[in-house]
């Protein structure tokens, strides 16, 4: 079997697939004015048949895990249908999603029943007002109820991500609040360092802070650094026997971040992106139109692997093609 491998010996068993750019939240660092409908653009996101062909070809190339993201992936009417196709037709072993948790309380049961293997929920603060200020929505309680419902249904791969925002969610009290949360809930919590994108320079300059402050908190409170597992994501994880969940740090600017890269991205319009921030991306959509294009599609994808760079060079201020993360899925 041919697998996805780049010139630096890294392999890619994991795809992040954005299924829509549309989002119903207005996070300050991502879409501060919400999703803007461009009247000239007919919002042609990958449709079901294209997603089916795409996931089948990646499955053939050794991909075992697909993360559905966006925009907000759950706004798609055929969202559950997509999960079903990935699991049953493309035989992807692990199908996971990243979501803002909109209506999670109502959707929890359907998510569990769909066979989903994991969920990452974005919650930037456990303070109702702070949450509302960041996202533009007073929906923290429905999301927390959703997390409870998932646990009640014995769904056991729940992660919560928050973007670290200077003087907004970075006090010792904020960190203690999350510690208390993962003491009671079997949920892993990770802080992501704010990334600079093409759209958010002012926001970035105002709110970016190094994750060092959270690492110092973890060291002070006896959290133990856990070395990488095989299917590890980009998170540096910390454990403590008194807590049910783990803490984690996702620091894209750290010097070793790209060394363990194991994922490629597909945008909602069918571009293959070799890196979240890379300048390298080509459309593969023209080869998703008919079942008999599979070999050509496979050759195109394999041929692109030599263009994957060693690092994103974010530390040099490059933001690549990325205007904001709603188009590539974060
Ligand atoms: N709408 C879903 C959500 O918010 O979880 C999925 C898409 S969102 C783009 C994926 C992740 O990217 C979220 O956890 C979000 O907080 C994160 N994100 C968005 N913009 C970011 C930025 N500039 N820096 C760091 N993380 C960012
Ligand atoms: Fe929407 Fe997610 Fe971006 Fe927030 S981070 S605006 S929820 S896509």
66-97 tens-digit pLDDT: 999 999 999 999 999 999 999 999 999 999 99
pLDDT exceeding 70 applies to what percent of the chain? 91
Residue of minimum CA distance from atom 8 in ligand 2: 71
- Is 99's C-beta closer than 6 angstroms to any atom of ligand 1? yes
pLDDT computed for residue 328 by the predictor = 64
Ligand nearest to the CA of 190: 1
Residue 180: which of 231, 97, 240 has the closest Cα? 240
Q: What are phi and psi of 230, to 5 degrees?
A: -65, -40
Which pLDDT belongs to residue 262?
A: 83
Q: Is the dihedral of CA 191, 73, 204, 174 positive or negative?
A: negative
Which ligand lies nearest to the CA atom of residue 21 in the structure? 2
**Cα of 72 from ligand 2 centre, angstroms:** 7
Measured from the alpha carbon of residue 139, the closest ligand is 2
Atom of ligand 2 at shortest range from CA of 326: 8
- Ligand 1 near 149 CB (within 6 A): no
Q: Which pTM was predicted?
A: 0.94
106 in a structural domain: yes
Q: Is the CB of residue 330 below 6 angstroms from any atom belonging to ligand 1?
A: yes
In a domain, 2, yes or no: no
More confident residue, 281 or 269: 269
Q: What percent of the chain is predicted at pLDDT more than 90?
A: 73
Residue 266: inside a domain: yes
Closest-lying ligand to the alpha carbon of 251? Answer: 1
| Cα distance between residue 154 and residue 157, in whole Å | 9
The alpha carbon of 92 and the centre of ligand 2 are apart by a number of angstroms equal to 25
For the chain, first and last CA: distance in Å?
30
Q: How far is the CA of 236 from the centre of ligand 2 (A)?
A: 23
In CATH, what number is assigned to the domain containing residue 312? 3.20.20.70
pLDDT at res. 225: 94
Q: Is 318 exposed, middle or buried (0-12, 13-18, 19+ CB in 10 A)?
A: middle
Note whether residue 225 is domain-resident: no
Range of the domain at 320: 14-128+135-161+254-327
Q: Which residues of 18-41 are buried (b: 16+ CB within 10 A; e: fewer)?
A: bbbbbbbbebbbbbeeebeeeeee
Does ligand 1 lie within 6 Å of residue 322's CB atom?
no
Tens-place pLDDT, residues 209-246: 999 999 999 999 999 998 766 545 678 999 999 999 99
234 lines ligand 1 (CB under 6 A): no
Question: How many folded domains does the chain comprise?
Answer: 1
What is the position in ligand 2's atom list of the atom closest to the CA of 31? 6
Starting at the earlier edge strand, list the strands of the sheet with 281-283. Answer: 224-226, 236-239, 247-250, 188-193, 158-164, 118-122, 94-99, 65-69, 14-18, 263-266, 271-273, 281-283
Dihedral of CA 238/244/245/247: which sign? negative
| Cβ atoms < 10 Å from Cβ of 268 | 24
Which atom of ligand 2 is least distant from the CA of 26? 6
Q: Does the Cβ of 163 fall within 6 Å of ligand 2?
A: no
Q: How far apart are CA 50 and CA 70, in angstroms?
A: 16
pLDDT in tens, 131-176: 999 999 999 999 999 999 999 999 999 999 999 999 999 999 999 9
Residue whose C-alpha is closest to residue 245's, from 156, 153, 125 = 156
The mean per-residue pLDDT over the stretch 115-123 comes to: 98
Q: Indicate whether 125 pLDDT > 60.
A: yes
18 lines ligand 1 (CB under 6 A): no
Per-residue pLDDT band at 279 (split at 50, 70, 90): low
State yes or no: pLDDT of 17 exceeds 70. yes
d(CA 286, CA 142): 40
In a domain, 89, yes or no: yes
Q: What is the pLDDT of residues 179-199, one digit of tens each?
A: 999 999 999 999 999 998 888
Ligand 2 centroid to Cα of residue 51, in Å, is 22
Task: Report pLDDT for 208.
Answer: 96
**What is the distance between the alpha carbons of residues 228 and 15, in angstroms, rounded to a whole number?**
19
Structural domain includes residue 232: no
**How many separate helices (H) and strands (E) can be counted in the chain?**
9, 12
């Amino acid at each position: 079997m041919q697998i996805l491998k780049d010139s630096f010996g890294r392999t890619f068993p994991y795809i992040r697939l954005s299924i829509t750019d549309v989002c119903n939240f207005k996070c300050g660092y991502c879409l501060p004015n919400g999703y803007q409908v461009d009247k000239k653009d007919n919002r042609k996101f990958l449709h079901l048949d294209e997603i089916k062909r795409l996931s089948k070809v990646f499955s053939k190339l050794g991909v075992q895990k697909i993360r559905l993201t966006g925009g907000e992936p759950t706004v798609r009417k055929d969202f559950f249908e997509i999960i079903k196709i990935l699991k049953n037709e493309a035989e992807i072993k692990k199908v996971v999603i990243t979501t803002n948790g909109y209506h999670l309380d109502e959707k929890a049961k359907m998510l569990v029943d769909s066979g989903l293997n994991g969920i990452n929920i974005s919650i930037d603060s456990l303070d109702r007002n702070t949450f509302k200020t960041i996202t533009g929505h007073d929906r923290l309680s429905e999301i927390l109820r959703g997390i409870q419902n998932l646990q009640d249904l014995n769904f056991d791969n729940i992660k919560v991500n928050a973007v670290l925002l200077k003087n907004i969610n970075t006090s010792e009290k904020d960190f203690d609040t999350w510690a208390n949360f993962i003491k009671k809930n079997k949920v892993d919590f990770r802080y992501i360092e704010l990334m600079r994108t093409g759209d958010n320079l002012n926001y970035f300059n105002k709110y970016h802070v190094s994750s060092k402050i959270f690492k110092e908190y973890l060291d002070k409170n006896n959290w133990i650094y856990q070395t990488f597992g095989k299917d590890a994501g980009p998170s540096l994880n910390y454990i403590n026997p008194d807590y049910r969940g783990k803490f984690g740090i996702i620091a894209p600017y750290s010097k070793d971040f790209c060394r363990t890269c194991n994922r490629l991205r597909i945008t909602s319009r069918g571009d293959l992106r070799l890196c979240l921030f890379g300048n390298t991306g080509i459309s593969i959509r023209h080869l998703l139109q008919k079942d008999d294009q599979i070999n050509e599609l496979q050759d195109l994808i394999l041929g692109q692997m030599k263009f994957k760079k060693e690092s994103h060079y974010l530390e040099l201020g490059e933001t690549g093609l990325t205007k904001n993360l709603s188009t590539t899925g974060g």
